[in-house]
Structure formats: C-alpha cells, structure tokens
Amino acid sequence: MADQQQPTVWVDGRVLDDPREPVIRVDDHGFTVGDGVFEAVKVVDGVPFALTRHLRRLERSAAGLGLPPVDEDAVRRGVAEVLERRHLPFGRLRITVTAGPAPMGSGRGDASPTLVVAAVEAQQRTGRASVVTVPWPRNERGAVAGLKTTSYAENVVALAYAAERGAEEAVFGNLAGHLCEGTGSNVFYVVDGELRTPTLASGCLAGITRELLVEWCGAREVDEPLVVLSRAEEVFLASTTRDVQPVARCDDREWDDVGPVTRAAAETWRAREAEHPDP
C-alpha cells in the first residue's frame, strides 16, 4: 500500500514509480540557489481549483525571474497524469519550474528548465488563526518582489519566529512601513466597516484567492501602516488552503468572534467557488 504522506510526482514528462527516486541533479539551479518559481493549487474531489489563473501567475513569475516561457501544455499533462494516478478528495498540487542544471554559483547555464508536478493530500485550515508581526520587512522594491519564487528562507525564519510565540502565521510590513502579507497568505482587514487589503505595490504576492476575493467581494486595495491591524475591526487571511480564515489574535490584539464582513466574505467564497472549478 502506498504511503499516503508521500506525494505522487511527475518530473519532466513521467510519473515516478517511487517519489523518493533521485531525479533532480545536485547542480540544478533551483537546488543550489533557489532559482525557480512555483504554484500551489488546491484540489477538491480530484479537480484542481483555478488552475488557469495559477498557470498565468506561474508564467508571470517565470518571466519576472528571467526564465524561459513555461510550457503550459506540459504542465497540464503533468497535472492530469498525477491526478489520474492519485485521486485526492482534498489535496494540493505543487508545480515547480527551475532554471535547470547550471555551473555552481549565481550564473545560469544553457540547460533546459526542470519541471515538476507533485500531488499530495492536504488538511484544510479550519478555525481561527493567531498571527504575529515580524521585525523583518519585505522589500517591495526588490528584483523578485511579488514573484512566487522557490527562495523561501525568509518565510521559514518568520514562521519559526511566529511558532515560538504561539502563532501559526507571520505577517510582514514592507520598507515603507506598510502592511504587506503573511508568509503564505494575503491579509484582509476591516476599518469603518470597509473591507481592505494591501495593493500589489506593497510587494505582496498576487494571491489567487486574494484576486478572486477582490473581484467577488469588492475589497478596496490600499496601502496603510502596519499598525492598522491594531485598530482593525476584523482581520482574516486568504490563501489556497485557507480560503477565508478569520484571525483571532494579532500580537496583543484579540477579537472575540468572527465579524460580519469576514462571515460575508466566507459565505461569498463558498458560493462562488462551487459555481465553477476554474473561475
């Protein structure tokens, strides 16, 4: 019987018989310097959600990093093959594109990109979240600001910081001192009854869940100081596996219950998500 904790993996055109099979070279630029981009896609009852939007963002991230155009047909084949091999009632696809093998160092070689699609079971986030703000800013003016790259060390450090303080997510400000994003989530908040979220100019990732919530719920995109969370009436996180997750605590601020704007956003999300798997 297959280990359900192990992913089903497709690499450069074939599904691996054993996901532990060594297939990525030690000189792959994604491994040596984090030169790659990726997408995490929710799977519900064997069907990927909003795959087209995720692939568009994958292409934008690759272009921003200077990688060759992503072979969308190949990605879709990989997705179909792993999901045919493994039915997921609820799961996650990880689509990764790296620059491929290259000389040791920052410079790229002339090899073809490495393309990996992996599918694994996942747990949907439930309940309310506790978050902390971290002392390290996002650089909204950096070369990879807003791109979904495989360089996640900053997020690893921030999540460890949050865990040490009893929280499950860390929230960044940016160099301007404005609210930016979580390590793997976008942040929405309510002031004077109005739903708001940072603009993409803040350096935050253009989250797919964020994008749909802005379209479906009419959230206003605005940049405000990070301390706005201390006076917000409601706060929630949005991401691929969170959907709309209310925040119960942010640093020393607590909310007794889920607010009406958050409830309405969650209800709208559930209704609209059910209408079509690829909105």
Take residue 167 and report the two structure tokens written for it: 């929280």
Q: Model confidence at 153, in pLDDT bands (50, 70, 90)?
A: very high
SS3 136: coil
DSSP-assigned states of every residue in 200-215: GGGT----HHHHHHHH
Inform me whether the pLDDT recorded for 4 exceeds 80.
no
CA atoms of 118 and 132, how far apart (whole Å):
31
- pLDDT tens digits, one per residue of 177-209: 999 999 999 999 999 999 999 999 999 999 999
Report the percentage of the chain scoring pLDDT > 90.
95
- Going from N- to C-terminal start, the domains of the chain cover 8-121, 129-273
For the domain made up of 129-273, give the CATH fold: D-amino Acid Aminotransferase; Chain A, domain 2 (3.20.10)
- pLDDT tens digits, one per residue of 26-49: 999 999 999 999 999 999 999 999
Inform me whether the pLDDT recorded for 1 exceeds 60.
no
SS3 191: strand
Sequence length of the chain is 279
Q: What is the pTM of this model?
A: 0.95
Report the percentage of the chain scoring pLDDT > 70.
99
Domain 8-121 has CATH 3.30.470.10: yes
